[in-house]
Amino acid sequence: MSLASAAPKPKERSKPAAKPRGRGELIYARWGTCRPQLAAGLGKAMARGELTAEEKAVAVEVLKTLIRDTELEVRRTLAEHIKSSPLLPSDIALRLAQDVEAVAIPILQSSPVLTDDDLLSIISDGNPVKQRAIAGREALSEAVSGALIGTGQKTVIEILLANDGAQISNESYRSLLDAFGADTTVQELLVERPVLPFAVKERLVHLVSKALQARIIQKHALPPALVEQLGQHGRERALLQNLAALKGGREIEAAVARLARTKGLTPTLLLRVLSAGLLEFFSAGMAALARVPSANAQNALRKAGTPALNSLYARAQLPAQLQPAFQIMLEEVLERRRAGHNGTQPEMEQRIISNLVQSYRRISPDSLESVIYQLGRLKADDPDALRA
């Protein structure tokens, strides 16, 4: 059935076409004066999903005309009434989503037929009002949430974080904390998320106030002692950035001496330093703990797996259950040095994580930072068990 047969031409004075019968009802009226009512009636009928096949075909034809109507109220009314319909053709939904804000917002907030690609396209257009509408949708994929975080729009991000139906990846959380970690509103919204990855909880404990730390304990069922450990983990992570900027042996020796005096050369800090490829600082730290000349420590570390290294490790009085972890990381770093590279790369981190998970059966391979934290909680009498 064509659109022409569904509704009279604007200038005709003949009676409106007869209403089709069926479970659903399409509203027909004088085309020139009642288009908003037509849009409302059509939208309601589509939303109810009670149209016959013939009525639906007519409805789609009428929709294609209404979405091009020059009168804003017609398009706005249609969008408001049809926003939740699963029968709405996806191309019509996208056309409405690309319209002006008054028309697009209801569709962006509610339409179930918009795809991730549709939403990503709208987000990339850079309209904050539409981005906020998308952020409040009932369910969002990691890809769409990541794009919303990538806008850098604080109001968009706040709506997203308050949306329990939004899936957010570890990488997106990391970017969010890098950009807005010091913002108290963002901190509060993060704390109230139903589920948070380990790395996010760890960074939050380090960033937030005591009051929010208490809320983290309550909301995410974290023992207070664990929160204190997470705080130390965060401080070591921040310290690592400063250690990576040290230049020359004198700066490294001075930093090692300061940390040794304050008992800051912890096993987890040394693991973190080693995993970052800071071999010079690691050897200086091991020498300080073992109370041997730095040259002796450097020679032992060049021969990973030898009795000299084992002796150095024992003299440093580091936990026996962590020696395999140090061995795995040292071998990776030395191999990378032999290949002419310094520092670490993602593939190297993945190899380290994989090898550590094989050696420690109960370690969860979340991220390298998470793995280091878990290693720090291993029991001395049971290397595979974490402290309660």
Per-residue pLDDT at 50:
67
Taking the mean position of all CA atoms in its chain, how far away is CA 287?
A: 40
Lowest-pLDDT choice from 50-64, 106-120, 219-233: 219-233
Q: Is 72 left (phi over 0), alpha (psi -120 to 50) or beta?
A: alpha
Per-residue pLDDT at 167:
97
Please list, in sequence order, all residues whose beta carbon lies within 8 angstroms of the beta carbon of residue 343, skipping any fewer than 6 positions away. Answer: 276, 277
Per-residue pLDDT at 271:
93
Residue 230, both tokens: 């997470």
Range among 5-9, 40-44, 176-180, 343-347 rated most confident? 176-180
pLDDT in tens, 51-95: 777 777 877 887 888 888 778 988 898 888 889 888 888 999 999
Per-residue pLDDT at 146:
97
Judge whether 140 and 165 are in contact, CB under 8 Å: yes
Distances 126 to 79, 96, 138, 152, 161 between C-alpha atoms, Å: 21, 17, 21, 11, 19
- In the block, residue with structure tokens 């019509």: 92
- What is the average pLDDT across 145-152? 97
223 or 296, greater pLDDT: 296
Kindly report the length of the chain.
Answer: 388
Instruction: Give percent above pLDDT 70 in the chain.
Output: 85
Instruction: Give percent above pLDDT 90 in the chain.
Output: 38
Per-residue pLDDT at 241:
82
238 or 179, greater pLDDT: 179
Using the Cα atoms of residue 247, residue 252, residue 253 and residue 259 in order, give the sign of their dihedral: positive
- In the block, residue with structure tokens 């395999």: 324
The answer, yes or no, to whether residue 12 has pLDDT greater than 50, is: no
Per-residue pLDDT at 30:
43
Q: How far is residue 7's CA from residue 269's CA, in Å, rounded to a whole number?
A: 76
Domain boundaries, the chain: 1-107, 115-222, 248-376
